Amino acid sequence: MPLNHPPLAELDSALHLLSFFPDISLTVEEYLRRKDEVQDKIWPTVPLLPGVEKLVHHLKKHNVPMAVATGSRKSSYMLKTSGGQVQSVFQYFDLEKNVVTGDPLPEDPDVPGRVANGGRGIRKGRGKPNPDVFLVAAKECLERNVGDVSTDVSVDLAEEWVAERRKGLVFEDAIPGVIAGKRAGMNGKKYIVAFKCVRSICFAL
């Protein structure tokens, strides 16, 4: 995505942040460019959160289905999971099998649910706190019958969809992600649809 067309949520956040510093002669575009440069250098050095490695190995040992559902673009996800200190966890997650990123789906995708550069994504403008990323992970990665991936539990859903969603469990530490998990209706322990695995820098995984 060209720099002059950042995602709306990112643009809104940048505008809000810069509004507190009116004396800084920095455009939103320049701020976003510098932020990305710094983050791209730091992401590969980010460590796992305490307890994540033990938890993931436990779930793997007991054959609990797992997927990662992240609001990050594929390029950022690749950087965040490239460091040697996180490979003990991310060896279990494959972009083609059980990872959904925040990359927007093309208007007319070659393969439904797939982004142009490989992997899975979500519809444009449907990032967290919308439930889509978790529901796509459950439906496409873990083959769970959760129904329409753009509908939350406040909608009158089929009983079997609600029941299947309740079996899923979301691990999050950011408010938009917690809201998205609740809106997805996931509060069970039969399968895991997201992990907040690494320490965040400026925004969550």
Q: pLDDT tens for residues 105-130? A: 876 554 445 555 567 888 888 888 99
pLDDT the model gives residue 10 = 79
The band of 1, judged by pLDDT with boundaries at 50, 70 and 90, is very low
In a domain, 2, yes or no: no
* Mean pLDDT of all residues in 44-51: 88
Q: What is the pLDDT of residues 58-111, one digit of tens each?
A: 999 999 999 999 988 899 999 999 988 898 999 999 998 999 998 888 765 544
pLDDT the model gives residue 8 = 59
In a domain, 203, yes or no: no
Q: Are residues 79 and 22 in the same domain?
A: no
pLDDT the model gives residue 2 = 38
pLDDT the model gives residue 195 = 55
As a whole-number percent, the residues of the chain with pLDDT over 70 amount to 82
More confident residue, 203 or 142: 142
pTM over 0.85: no
Contact 143, 67 (CB under 8 A): no
Q: Are residues 38 and 64 in the same domain?
A: no
pLDDT the model gives residue 118 = 60
More confident residue, 35 or 174: 35
Q: Are residues 126 and 163 in the same domain?
A: yes
Q: Does the structure show a pLDDT above 50 at 29?
A: yes
Among the listed residues 76, 98, 97, the one whose alpha carbon sits nearest the alpha carbon of residue 195: 98
Q: Are residues 30 and 83 in the same domain?
A: no
Q: Distance between CA 122 and CA 142 in Å, rounded? A: 16
3-state secondary structure at position 52: helix
pLDDT the model gives residue 32 = 93
Q: Are residues 185 and 163 in the same domain?
A: yes
Please report the DSSP string for 97-141 in residue order.
Answer: TSEEEEEEPPSS-SSTTB-TTSSEEE-TT--TTSSHHHHHIIIII
How many domains would you assign to the chain?
2
pLDDT the model gives residue 49 = 85
Domain of residue 185 covers 46-194
Contact 133, 69 (CB under 8 A): yes
